[in-house]
Structure 1
């Protein structure tokens, strides 16, 4: 029975914070009632583990014990419900079942509200940033509202950049939309007048004159000079619309899935390939002055049309047809590309596509791609050995402009995963309707890449995720509603890149950050910390044994206790555990830290101790005031001459790329910053910081080579 003060909770104001407080009160009351049952379940799990010394074996037994407890609890709940219906008794057991359901509902509500609060904070920060970027535009306007002709292009670029970033945030807000029922026949009129029709104009590659142009001959000659693997890499650009930004990481994932790139050294290999294409003027890097190196590329219309024509003649992709809009077909080389309207084609039916030899399914622009899963269901695939699917990319491929919102029935779409035994690359990126990854995903023993980036409503991962022993890349970026990452994740011995790991204490059985030190190959890690009291001291002690780690990104959430700030006023955090070594991992080259409330850097993070770090990004440290003691000591002579410090020796800091964003209390002189603190600096991005006499341009960018 709930306490009297919680039976009719009053929400004091229509705000998210008040709802969270009330939900927490009810949630805590139910958890208090359920403490005895939770203790019994934990005892059962402990008995299952026994006294095993092998930590990996213990994690495996804990995982299996948890599944057994869940299954037992489910069966008991069903039995109680059946008994109540049969005998009209067992009211107490029925109430307990209702309490369980209420607890689960409240927990999910709590996680969703927390996500919305976090999103609200991010949106506010981004709006302030974009408002600051618009001020220079306003200043360059004439008093009468006109602008100089020479500034038109610059202002257009600034406004486009602001619009892109705001659209990214809009796409993260969940919206409920209903899918129209697909017509059995594929006709333009089937979708009704409400459907956005595709305007199909004659494409350059459809004309015979294209082959007579010198640009086509150049593209063809350069194509023929490439190795067979690199030829396929070039032709893969044909599936994307012309002049559209294509992210290099996405291309790397795709090419690894196809077997074109080796897993080891794939990042260097894809850079070599793209640089080669760039030198041949087959692609162009997307210029972004805030990036040291380009991360996205595009293809100009004439080159794109030439590549499309070559691709169609060879039969690697079959999308474009003369006089018609793009359609979904299986190419001669067993690759299928989904385009807008594919779900309405006859081939979208269960028996509409011969799936036995399909190697690739790539979604270019289809909003409802879950029909493809019917092709690979147990009923459709008669012989599992014939199933050749290696790449299943149903999610979004664009990182910036989210032109479509992809939706799918996750429960129905996941059922066919168990038959995809040869799958190497699986992507559901940006599909908001996915709430869990099917238990059958554990059968994807050859899976190398699992891309769940931007699945903002994802709540569960398979508990037996440790079965994916070939997994190398796991991207959970933006999956902040995860109820807990299974402990089996720490058993993925081949994992090299893990993005979006969440540290919280909502589930005692969830994988903790310290367990990841078993991942001996882990090179890249991004973490969101949503646990009270988990500060820099705890972080550095946890990660200093990550011996292979090269890149680390850490973001603190909204639950970081303010007690850390109060403790810092009394003593520096790094001195709280004097017996433990405080140092960054030896191979770490890039460190990105966001939203931490310290006003001072701990000693291990001060510039003089960053001997191996090459890239440092500090963002939204609202209380940070400086980088520690600057080299040199104050003297009376210096004060008489108007200087605070006499010239000192530069530090041994190796940081070349420094990003300082939204550090409103930071006060540092430009000379001290670039000649004493960071003497090897070649690139600086600075926004909303107190750098005096800064040499940065109007966008807050400085490069040593300009």
Structure 2
């Protein structure tokens, strides 16, 4: 065994240590109970890396102890494995508490002065002026004013993702589809009810925030409409008058989601703001038969959904992104015929989606499709062409994946597909052919396992492609032996050695490019350029 580094909490070193621990558990012939759970926990920890400086300091002794246990050969294997299991469990427990604390700190109650100002908004000069401006904006917006009122539920420092807002609006019935949602989002930006949040120079807006004073004004107006109350200084939907509820860390029991009760049958939408530690109850899905939107995104304690989910006959959007401990989806999901959106991306313990999912012919968005071993994958890509309305698809090729010959060629039959992501969890250079649908506009490739450019990644096979991301992986030269020019306008790639002049010659329509680099296991921006902003 190679020698281990002296600082095992650093990202690349921690990955090395955890990888060797997992390998040790896989190769042992000892009868170690819960070995499978330990390996899953190790996978979860690896996905949680890198650690921040505070976590490195706090967990340093435990990682060093793991390193010692790995190298120690004098202790009986069963005792050694038990000690390793206990240390890993303590690390996982610590990180779960850190994540929960960060989220709760972000969701701070309004001060007494702020609450008084909101209650007396008609007397506050700035809020009065904002209300006049807001009423004028609503006349221009020409949409249900609740689109604005509902924004008040988010904490003052929240960074809101465009896609989350659009899916919520669809679930509420405030917009018909994603296209209308896109237009409403742009209008809210134009009216400055939302402001763009940028971390780079890309001209596209995918995240936004709410100005503090706009939020105060919206809370005041939503209270008048009996959509929100301010109990405890935290804006929340009024259960007496609202058809929606949200999960807030430390306050979920106040919102109609209680361990001892069932959500009201009148609920139309349930979504998670920052809860991570929710005890899920099977009976919760027995009453809200009119529920259209369910987002449990980021709740780590969920390991499975109850079979009673079949009772949600009206459900259209199911968002389980980043439920890191989710191990399975029940077969009952395939009975939800109205589903248009399913997101199980970043659910790293899932090994397959339910057999028959391809019969949900209303699906427009499917994120987190898994290609695993031939024994564990109950649904494969050849089943997907029946999804005639599918517009967005993300695929993860697992570390144990068996890729069948011609499997990725079935993608070309998804004629409505516009956005496709493929990520690889294995580094093996497994040859595969890919045939893309003709209307594909965005392609995201993560961890691509090829050293040289595959023949399917060429401009002639992606004539309508507008956005291309290539992040991580082994590919180092996208333009090798390339005679054609790309029509791509937005480009992100992990190939810092390609210079700007070469890029512009091969991508003459570029509006934005960002080049990434990896150092010590961490990703950072090498440089970026926008045609509107410049270098």
Are positions 1:293 and 2:208 aligned together? no
Per-residue deviation, residues 243-295 of structure 1 (Å, max 9, x unmatched) = 53222222222222222121xxx222122222222222222122333433111
Shift of 1:419: 1.7
Match of 2:510 in 1: 681
Shift of 1:671: 2.8
Shift of 1:367: 5.2
Are positions 1:508 and 2:376 aligned together? yes
* Partner SS for 1:543: helix
Match of 1:600 in 2: 452
Shift of 1:369: 4.5
User: Do 1:405 and 1:431's aligned partners in 2 also have CA atoms closer than 8 Å?
Assistant: yes
Q: Distance in 2 between matches of 1:106 and 1:197?
A: 40
Q: Distance in 1 between matches of 2:454 and 2:328?
A: 36
CA RMSD of aligned residues (A): 3.6
User: Do 1:211 and 1:217's aligned partners in 2 also have CA atoms closer than 8 Å?
Assistant: no
Q: Distance in 1 between matches of 2:515 and 2:405?
A: 26
Match of 1:653 in 2: 486
Match of 2:13 in 1: none
User: Do 1:449 and 1:471's aligned partners in 2 also have CA atoms closer than 8 Å?
Assistant: yes
Q: How does 1:590-669 map to 2 (within 5 A)?
A: 590-631=442-483, 651-661=484-494, 663=495, 667-669=497-499
Per-residue deviation, residues 533-592 of structure 1 (Å, max 9, x unmatched) = 7579856424232222111111111x3435x4xxxxxxxx47xx8xxxx53211211111
Q: Which runs of 4+ in 1 moved over 6 A?
A: 170-173
Tell me: CA distance 1:428–1:533, structure 2 relative to 1, closer, same or farther (3 Å): closer
Tell me: CA distance 1:365–1:269, structure 2 relative to 1, closer, same or farther (3 Å): farther
Q: Alignment partner for residue 391 of structure 1, among 269, 285, 289?
A: 269
Q: How many residues align?
A: 465
* Partner SS for 1:591: strand
Per-residue deviation, residues 206-249 of structure 1 (Å, max 9, x unmatched) = 3342267433322233335554x431101111222335322222
Are positions 1:305 and 2:216 aligned together? yes
Match of 2:279 in 1: 409
Q: Distance in 2 between matches of 1:309 and 1:199?
A: 13
Q: Distance in 2 between matches of 1:681 and 1:502?
A: 32
* Partner SS for 1:408: coil
Shift of 1:432: 0.8
Match of 1:206 in 2: 119
Match of 1:114 in 2: 43
Match of 1:223 in 2: 138
Q: Distance in 1 between matches of 2:480 and 2:261?
A: 61
Per-residue deviation, residues 668-701 of structure 1 (Å, max 9, x unmatched) = 44333212x2222221111239xxxxxxxx8611
Q: Distance in 2 between matches of 1:197 and 1:499?
A: 32
Q: 1 or 2, which has the higher helix percentage?
A: 1
Q: How does 1:560-599 map to 2 (within 5 A)?
A: 560-561=427-428, 564=430, 573=431, 583-599=435-451
* TM-score of the aligned structures, taking structure 1 as reference length: 0.59
Tell me: CA distance 1:376–1:330, structure 2 relative to 1, closer, same or farther (3 Å): farther
* Partner SS for 2:284: helix
Match of 1:234 in 2: 148
Q: Alignment partner for residue 499 of structure 1, among 351, 367, 373?
A: 367
Per-residue deviation, residues 38-62 of structure 1 (Å, max 9, x unmatched) = xxxxxxxxxxxxxxxxxxxxxxxxx
Gaps of 5+ in 2: 1-15, 54-90, 101-106, 519-524
Match of 1:361 in 2: 245
Q: Distance in 1 between matches of 2:93 and 2:380?
A: 27
Tell me: CA distance 1:688–1:490, structure 2 relative to 1, closer, same or farther (3 Å): same
Q: Distance in 2 between matches of 1:171 and 1:217?
A: 50
Q: Alignment partner for residue 416 of structure 2, among 526, 538, 548?
A: 548
Q: Distance in 2 between matches of 1:304 and 1:327?
A: 11
Match of 2:294 in 1: 426
User: Do 1:257 and 1:448's aligned partners in 2 also have CA atoms closer than 8 Å?
Assistant: yes
User: Do 2:277 and 2:301's aligned partners in 1 also have CA atoms closer than 8 Å?
Assistant: yes
Range that drifts further, 306-315 or 538-547: 538-547
User: Do 2:328 and 2:350's aligned partners in 1 also have CA atoms closer than 8 Å?
Assistant: yes
Gaps of 5+ in 1: 1-13, 31-98, 128-169, 180-195, 336-358, 382-386, 397-403, 565-572, 632-650, 690-697
User: Do 2:370 and 2:396's aligned partners in 1 also have CA atoms closer than 8 Å?
Assistant: yes
